[in-house]
Amino acid sequence: MDSATASAESLRKQVSAIEDELKQLRAQLASVEAQDAAVKGIAGLDLSAGGLVTVKKTDDSESERKWPLSEEEYRRYGRQMIMPSVGIQGQLRLKEASILIVGAGGLGCPAAAYLAGAGVGTIGIVDGDEVETSNLHRQILHSTAKVGMKKVESAIEYLKHLNPNPTYMSHSEHLTPQNSSSIVSKYDLILDCTDHPTSRYLISDISILLSKPLISASALRTDGQLIVLNSPPLPAGNAAGGPCYRCVFPKPPPAESVVSCGDGGVLGPVVGVMGVLQALEAIKLIVAGKLKAPAPPESEPVQSDTAPAATMLLFSANSSPPFRSVRLRSRRPKCFACSSEAGLSLESLTSGSLDYVLFCGVTSPINLLSPEERIEARQYYDLIRDSKKKEHLLLDVREKVQFDICALPGSINVPFSTLQGNRPITSAGIEGEKPAWIPEGLPDDAPIYVVCRLGNDSQVVTRKLLESGLGRGGERYIGDIRGGLKAWREQVDGSWPEY
């Protein structure tokens, strides 16, 4: 009886879900039919006459009035259309616009939601990743039920519930030099919502080559920045065009200084603020009709001093005031991408001759140590279980905030930041002197094992300890735990917190 009751309840839920889906489909059909009727009736639309259209019937009977938007669209967008800065013309421009959002993460989610809500006609989303639990505190279009689902599919499913009117385009892949032209060329405006320098340079380059304005943002910890690039989107060599990403950052940051959200952390509302600002800047460009720069007459070439001022907006949650604006220079005279001396071309981009990974100094995963200078997490576990274990030191080089979250018993925390660069291993900087963090009484030949979160920082520290002479010419073993605490979770303790 219990089984029959459970089956009946399951069927009722399925019926209810299908009925809800039918309601949504009927609503979408009604919206499409209304749009189709409106499109047929707006031939000869005169926006200066308040949006009224007079269309002759085929039988030359009395003319009738038609409206450029459907009844549902007037209700949906009315609150923004009554703003003088938008109006009916701005709303129609939004409806005709197409925007590509590269990245369906912390920036792309809020940006997509507000652009869909505003009535942008076509929204494309590019992302090759799947939803993970660690995304959910900031990537607001995804949910627990969608973990494992493609981010693009998850985002579009949410957006269709929010507003079924726009056309949503799915690109469930990462943007690459090879596919960038075919994807980006379909859209009027690009939003860079990625989190890595290699992506930022690629997206900027293709935006220049295809004459697309670009809105770029980033966020880390409690800080963010926003730039509107290539606006107006004039050809390379025209100094009146907006600067590109290479103009602002001619050289990428050192690879070792690049910190991702996964490594450095990010506060959800911070990345949300920056994504919302991207949507705001996109709407401003669209309603003002600035997606395409008008070509000046040949007899009146644009001079460099007519270039609009570009700015970078900086946000810091812990500052007062939290926003400040930095004025940027116009296009850089010798920029590789947008100057008259530009060496960038579609051919060089798609052929693979431009290696963005190499340009940004990002190569294969860090591998600084020999196999003899590394041990597996399982090996270290066996070592500490041995009743005859040799006394040793376990050095955890994660930052203190991470060490406080979870730590292996007996480990000592010496944050990586205190050992970076040219800082000496010892407090006095004297070669051969014992560092202050080595416990009193530890034998001079006691092994030192180094661990971090993923096994990268630990290699850097291990190499530095070996070069400092702490190995005593091979008398003391110094090595890192390969794969760090992630490997510890996989090989030893499945309950270890994953963060």
Active-site amino acid positions: 261, 452
- Using an 8 Å Cβ cutoff, are 257 and 460 in contact? no
The verdict on whether residue 60 carries a ligand-binding annotation is no
User: What span, in angstroms and rounded, lies between the C-alpha atoms of 107 and 287?
Assistant: 22
Strands of the sheet with 310-316, listed across from one edge? 167-171, 122-126, 98-102, 189-192, 214-220, 223-229, 310-316, 323-328
Sign of the C-alpha dihedral, residues 377, 381, 386, 388? positive
- Using an 8 Å Cβ cutoff, are 397 and 419 in contact? yes
Please give the structure tokens belonging to residue 43: 């031939």
The verdict on whether residue 196 carries a ligand-binding annotation is yes
The verdict on whether residue 109 carries a ligand-binding annotation is no
The verdict on whether residue 134 carries a ligand-binding annotation is yes
The verdict on whether residue 221 carries a ligand-binding annotation is no
User: What span, in angstroms and rounded, lies between the C-alpha atoms of 68 and 41?
Assistant: 8
The verdict on whether residue 136 carries a ligand-binding annotation is yes
For 213, phi then psi, to 5°, come to -65, 150
The verdict on whether residue 392 carries a ligand-binding annotation is no
Look at residues 216, 161, 162, 170 and name the one whose alpha carbon lies nearest to residue 189: 216
The verdict on whether residue 193 carries a ligand-binding annotation is no
Written as one string, the DSSP assignment of 167-230 is: EEEEE-S---TTTHHHHHTT-SEEEE---SHHHHHHHHHHHHHTT--EEEEEEEBTEEEEEEES
The DSSP call for residue 82 is T
Strands (E), 16-175: 53-55, 64-66, 98-102, 122-126, 167-171
The verdict on whether residue 195 carries a ligand-binding annotation is yes
Binding site members for Zn(2+):
244, 247, 335, 338
Give the residue ranges of the annotated binding site for ATP: 106, 127, 134-138, 151, 195-196
Annotation: binding site: 106, 127, 134-138, 151, 195-196, 244, 247, 335, 338
